[in-house]
Amino acid sequence: MTDPADSIDATLDELADDFDVLEDWEQRIAYVIDLGKDLAPLPDADRTEANKVPGCAAQVWLASDRDGDRLTFRADSDSAISKGNVALLLKLYSGRPAEQILAFDAKAALDRLGLPQALTRQRANGLNAMVGRIRQEAMAAG
């Protein structure tokens, strides 16, 4: 879970610093895949149709919980790249208030990381679908 003392922008800055030292898109994709390896296993109870993210090339599940005004997300995928993408999004969004999630410009953040350019169009569309699902959960919570 994200440390509440850290802002979403500070987390983005840390990720951007990590991405900046990577020389090419292949290294960035490898880094994203490594992020996915650190995701906690998603319980079978959360691998439901309701938690599936439509629009992804791979199967991606995203579950959320509310603790006061904060949303915590859990996720998994059957694809290493999609799992890494959703892990990156969880670093940005999990543990944040719904209002902060909705105020954050995900497109600008992902462009800053150079991620959409490193992905195939289908994977970039899936990444956008994951962001959309997180925002949908935040709207429902707000």
If pLDDT is split at 50, 70 and 90, which confidence band does 6 have? Answer: confident
Strand segments, DSSP code E, in the chain are 60-67, 70-77, 96-97
Sheet with 60-67, strands from edge to edge, namely 60-67, 70-77, 96-97
CATH match of 8-141 with 3.40.50.300: no
What digits encode the pLDDT tens for the residues 81-131? 999 999 999 999 999 999 999 999 999 999 999 888 888 888 889 999 999
Average pLDDT over residues 19-25: 88
Supply 74's token pair: 């859990």
If pLDDT is split at 50, 70 and 90, which confidence band does 5 have? Answer: low
- Which residues make beta-bridge pairs with 76? 61
Q: Quick check: 2 pLDDT over 50?
A: no
Domain boundaries, the chain: 8-141
CA dihedral 38, 92, 117, 107 (to 10 degrees): 160
Question: Which of 32, 56, 75, 109 is labelled catalytic?
Answer: 56
If pLDDT is split at 50, 70 and 90, which confidence band does 140 have? Answer: very high
Q: Which helix (H) or strand (E) holds 2?
A: none
Q: Catalytic residue at 56?
A: yes
What digits encode the pLDDT tens for the residues 34-77? 999 999 999 999 999 999 999 888 999 999 999 988 999 999 99
Which DSSP letter does residue 47 get?
Answer: -
Say what the pLDDT of residue 45 is: 96
Q: Quick check: 4 pLDDT over 60?
A: no
